Structure 1
Amino acid sequence: MSEMFYGKGSGKQGMAETPKMLDRTLAELKDTQDVRQKKLGFFALLKPMVLLENSYILEQRRWIEALNLSQLTPVQSSQLNSILINYRLMDGSDSLPSDVSALRALVSRLLIRVQPVPVELVLVQAANESAWGRSRFAREGNNLFGQWCFSKGCGLVPNQRSEGAYHEVAVFKSPQLSIRAYLKNLNSFWAYEDFRQARAAEPELKGARLAIYLAEHLKRYSQRGQAYVDELKEMVQVNADLIEQAPDEYLR
């Protein structure tokens, strides 16, 4: 999967540098029979990664909002074009609309996509999809969210893959890159347009309340549909306090 575009440069001319990679691995998760400690260890490992990735999405959003669309510099035009391609609103053969009204309309659509996902939702989905970081795909491929890829050799072949199916489970160099790909998926793939519209419609909702509200719009994420949604919502309710307790940064 492609990595999210963050751009180069700084200030009015361009975006901030690509976010740093946090040098932490799923191997740090300790085997324990204490359920609370297992959960807290999982949240403590991943929460700083989620917050970092969300902070860059928010920074990207603020950069877009600050643009004077009628007077873009060449650098700004190039980077805006790349962001639109990354969020699947343009392809590589497209160029920015020359008409300012059309460009504003396109950027309005973009801003619905360039938004953070609540950390509570990210973490409970990661826990649900990866068996708290202990699934085969998490351990062997840093895949926390069950993301698929579709070219031979691109990932890990599921043991229970149906005859005739050719998907594999994507492999990532780090859990942080799995989080980045998941955020891009929710923010750009057509199946989650309802999720994005719901998020845009409730800008005042925050935290666990927002996570529970948005989980209702993830029926397409799993073949289990509403049962999957209900499970996510319950997980947010049960684990919200633990997620709050997990540190925002790594304790050295």
Structure 2
Amino acid sequence: MLLKYRAAIVAVATLFLCILIVFFYYSQQKDEPLPPMTVKEKKARFIALILPAVDTVYAKLQMRYEDIKTMIDNGQSHDRIEKLKEEYKVTSDEALLTALKPHPKSIAIAQAAMESSWATSRFFRKANNVFGVWSFNEDEPRIAALQKRGDKTIWVKKYSTIEEAVFDYYRTLGRGRAFSEFRQLNATTDDPLALVTKLDQYSEKGSEYGEELADIIEYNNFDRFDEH
């Protein structure tokens, strides 16, 4: 009897969360202000929106990494390898594997929380821009920030889906010159708390950025989402 009662509570709670997410989604599409939320509700909504995309992208990237590693280990040459080297701006097999290895999901989730204010920011709601990625290409989909730097307009990328934003984020860290130390360390460890110390170039906060990410990961136990 007790088990049935608990199961009923879980079912009702799950249904309520689903209804809440649908409501928030349509509010976002209509550009309406979000209703008041408790911290717990905000975080639950964030995880429900972001985690599926991170899980999907990470699984695809991990599979790609393993496929390419197998080809390289077996001494195979393939057009796919050469195209990826060009895309990730590397020349050696070792550098390619370093670029392709996806970093822990806990870091992606923590950065998404910081950069999107737990999926409540205007950039996220209007452009699915989870990671605050700027745009410097006027031909790509983008939106303008409300604030300027002097007389200069700041543009951020607009994505069709959250999954697209997550993939672009992983790609940026995989090939950006500013994140070479991050990639080198990621090739040797899966410790998110060590890795975030190498993300000081991601934000104007510098070293404080990594410290804040570490706090978010630890406080919210985001490392539970990592592959072991």
Q: Which of the five TM-score ranges fits, normalised by the shorter chain?
A: 0.7 to 0.9
Within the candidate set 53, 58, 66, 2:62 is matched to: 58
Matches within 5 A, 1:53-132: 53-67=57-71, 72=76, 77-89=78-90, 106-132=92-118
Are residue 189 (structure 1) and residue 143 (structure 2) matched?
Answer: no
C-alpha contact (below 8 Å) 1:88/1:188 kept by paired residues? yes
Within the candidate set 203, 214, 221, 1:222 is matched to: 203
CA distance in 2 between partners of 1:64 and 1:181 (Å): 19
Deviation at 1:60, TM superposition (A): 1.0
Aligned to 1:43: 47
The 3-state SS of whatever aligns with 2:129 is: coil
Aligned to 1:149: 135
Aligned to 2:11: none
CA distance in 1 between partners of 2:208 and 2:23 (Å): 31
CA distance in 2 between partners of 1:53 and 1:79 (Å): 19
Aligned to 1:11: none
Aligned to 2:14: none
Within the candidate set 91, 105, 120, 1:134 is matched to: 120
Which gives a bigger RCO, structure 1 or 2 (Cα 8 Å, sep 6+)? 1
CA distance in 2 between partners of 1:57 and 1:149 (Å): 24
CA distance in 1 between partners of 2:71 and 2:24 (Å): 39
The 3-state SS of whatever aligns with 1:193 is: helix
Q: TM-score when scaled to structure 2?
A: 0.77
Residue identity matched to 1:42? F
RMSD: 2.7
Deviation at 1:78, TM superposition (A): 1.7
Q: TM-score when scaled to structure 1?
A: 0.70
Deviation at 1:201, TM superposition (A): 2.4
C-alpha contact (below 8 Å) 2:130/2:166 kept by paired residues? yes
Over 3 Å counting, the alpha-carbon distance change for 1:199 and 1:25 in structure 2 is farther
Over 3 Å counting, the alpha-carbon distance change for 1:159 and 1:185 in structure 2 is same
Are residue 231 (structure 1) and residue 217 (structure 2) matched?
Answer: no
C-alpha contact (below 8 Å) 1:26/1:133 kept by paired residues? no
Residue identity matched to 2:202? Y
How many corresponding residue pairs?
A: 198
More helix, by proportion: 2
CA distance in 2 between partners of 1:189 and 1:114 (Å): 12
Greater shift, 227-236 or 172-181, is seen at: 227-236
Runs of 4+ in 1 over 6 A off after TM superposition: none
